[in-house]
Structure 1
Amino acid sequence: MKYTVTLAEALGGITVNITTLDGRELSIPVNDIISPGYELVVDKAGMPIANEPRNRGDLKINFEVKFPTKMTTEQTATIKRALGG
């Protein structure tokens, strides 16, 4: 599953709300820093395993980070200060 986050969400954390293919609603907190290509694996939250209906596979969420295309001078200065640049 692919999920797009903003740069602020990638750095500051987010709760991912997902509707699975079988209709379940999941709310998954992500407190790690999300870098481009980051993959989160949620154990036993995926689809049921064939011939083992009580067991589920893992849910894999691949993240895409949407970077801003432009920022004001003030925003750039604020980010540089925050990140020690």
Structure 2
Amino acid sequence: MNVRTAWTHAAAKIGMKQITHHDLRHLFATICIESGVDIPTVSRWLGHKDGGALCMKTYGHLRQDHSLAQAQRVSFDMSA
């Protein structure tokens, strides 16, 4: 059984459509960015040579959501 056939069987077993390598790549990038890895680093990990431009275009909305969540954690309480 080759990898493609194995993926197809695994996806069907859990009721999903076929999973492609692009789906896995997108999942990897999404998890990295949502975990706080900066976009230029994720871009390099994906093999991009554009300094993060494509990742920012594709995943920038995730970073904005993440940044808002992180900003809400900031406290300016000087007594701490």
What TM bracket, shorter-length normalisation?
A: under 0.3
**Bigger relative contact order, structure 1 or 2 (CA pairs below 8 A, ≥6 apart):** 1
**TM-score (structure 1 length as normaliser):** 0.23
More strand by share: 1
**TM-score (structure 2 length as normaliser):** 0.24
